[in-house]
Amino acid sequence: MGRFRRSRCIRHIQDRMCEAVMAAVRGSDRKPPLARIAVFGSNGHIGRPLAAWVKANSPSTILRLIIRNEDRRANLAATFPGAEIFIANYYDLTSLEAALSEVEGAFIVTPDFLDEERAMTNFIYAARTNPGLRHVVRLIADPPGMTLDRVPDSLKALGGGTAVQHLRAKAILEQSGLPITFINIAAYFMQNFLTPFFNGPIQAERVLSVPRNRRMGFIDTHDIGACAAAILLSDNPRHVGQTYHLDNGHDVLRFDEVALLMSDIFNETIAYDGTDETFLRICGEGVKAYIGRPDADEYFINYFQFEQDNETVWRKSDIVEFLTGKPAKTLRQWLSENKQNILGQ
């Protein structure tokens, strides 16, 4: 009986020692928090929520807010007192080097039709001047599994746009050796319903005009910003090298189903019209002005077809809750909150 107790005691001590060793190993696998994070596009509908998340969840982290225009400085300074505000341009290497100096983390988002080869090559050169840069999160937006050779020639011919530029950027950054996590938007921004793409027809004729009645996921840009911030603030080094496909975990709908959902929430009929003619008639000029290109309407007709050709890849996941600890906002919630702005009332 004594031998049994001694044996059990020895096993208990061994188990405790093993637990202590494993805890030490796990502890050594953590990374210390980032002291200063640069946020490109910090006045945008992803960068601003990202900065707000960092401020709320890690007040000691210094925010460096990167903008392209001086006229945004005062507004950001009022919203984020104590933040560092830098003016930088992806085409200007000197400004990028200054923006990335002394930061440990960075978030990158780029506008449509940017020359990503030039922009990301500059970013890589600037990043290499800062040996303390420990983590970069880059936003991309492609159908999961998409490759450049599968993109139609009609989209490649325009030289830029989401369908090609993010794939090019990802390839350049992956070859750079920088510690990068990609967050891929495997969904439509809910905020799209506040742009001329969708808002003009809804306000003018109570019509949701979206060519190609395809399946699509949806996500609130505030949730995207929160995911990027949570990754940068995480002490888990396993985020580096990953690509996370973001969706809200709830809504994968065809656009005629979105129109029915709007009708239910708004208490008035929102019709669906999937013809190219209606889109070009109501949205064409607004889309050209919004994107700043005379061929933008043609590009997006081709892009809608591209999305329809790949509509089977959209899905629902728990990725937002996994990264942030909170469920993502549903499309019903977002539409309810933004009813007046969508309808123009």
Smallest CA-to-CA distance from 107 within 226, 235, 238 is with: 226
Sign of the Cα pseudo-torsion (260, 266, 272, 276, in order):
negative
**pLDDT classification of 23: cutoffs 50, 70, 90:** very low
Contact indicator for 62, 35 with CB cutoff of 8 Å: yes
H-helix or E-strand spanning residue 85: strand 84-87
Q: In Å, what is the CA distance from 264 to each residue of 120, 229, 259, 278, 334?
A: 44, 34, 9, 23, 13
Give the whole-number percent of the chain exceeding pLDDT 90.
Answer: 77
pLDDT reported for residue 16: 46
pLDDT higher than 70, residue 6: no
Q: What does the mean pLDDT of the chain come to?
A: 90
Average pLDDT over residues 280-300: 84
Q: With H, G, I as helix, E, B as strand and everything else as coil, classify residue 65.
A: strand
**pLDDT classification of 20: cutoffs 50, 70, 90:** very low
pLDDT higher than 50, residue 12: no
pLDDT higher than 50, residue 251: yes
pLDDT higher than 90, residue 29: no
Contact indicator for 38, 105 with CB cutoff of 8 Å: yes
Domains of the chain: 36-343 (3.40.50.720)
pLDDT reported for residue 5: 46
pLDDT higher than 80, residue 25: no
Token representation of residue 90: 């992806």
Contact indicator for 335, 253 with CB cutoff of 8 Å: no
pLDDT reported for residue 160: 66
Residues 151-203: tens digit of each pLDDT: 998 888 776 677 688 999 999 999 999 999 999 999 999 999 998 778 889 99
314 CB-near residues (< 8 Å, 6+ apart) = 143, 186, 187, 215, 216, 217, 247, 252
pLDDT reported for residue 159: 66
Question: Residue 199's CB: how many other CB atoms inside 10 A?
Answer: 19
Could you give the CA distance from residue 119 to residue 37 in angstroms, rounded to a whole number? Answer: 20
pLDDT reported for residue 297: 87
Quote the Cα angle for 112-138-42, to 5°: 70
Query: Which is more confident, 211 or 291?
Result: 211
**pLDDT classification of 21: cutoffs 50, 70, 90:** very low
Q: With H, G, I as helix, E, B as strand and everything else as coil, classify residue 66.
A: strand
Residues 32-78: tens digit of each pLDDT: 889 999 999 999 999 999 999 999 999 999 999 999 999 989 999 99
3-state secondary structure 223-277: HHHHHHHHHHHCCCHHHCCCEEEECCCCCEEEHHHHHHHHHHHHCCCCEEECCHH
Contact indicator for 269, 263 with CB cutoff of 8 Å: yes
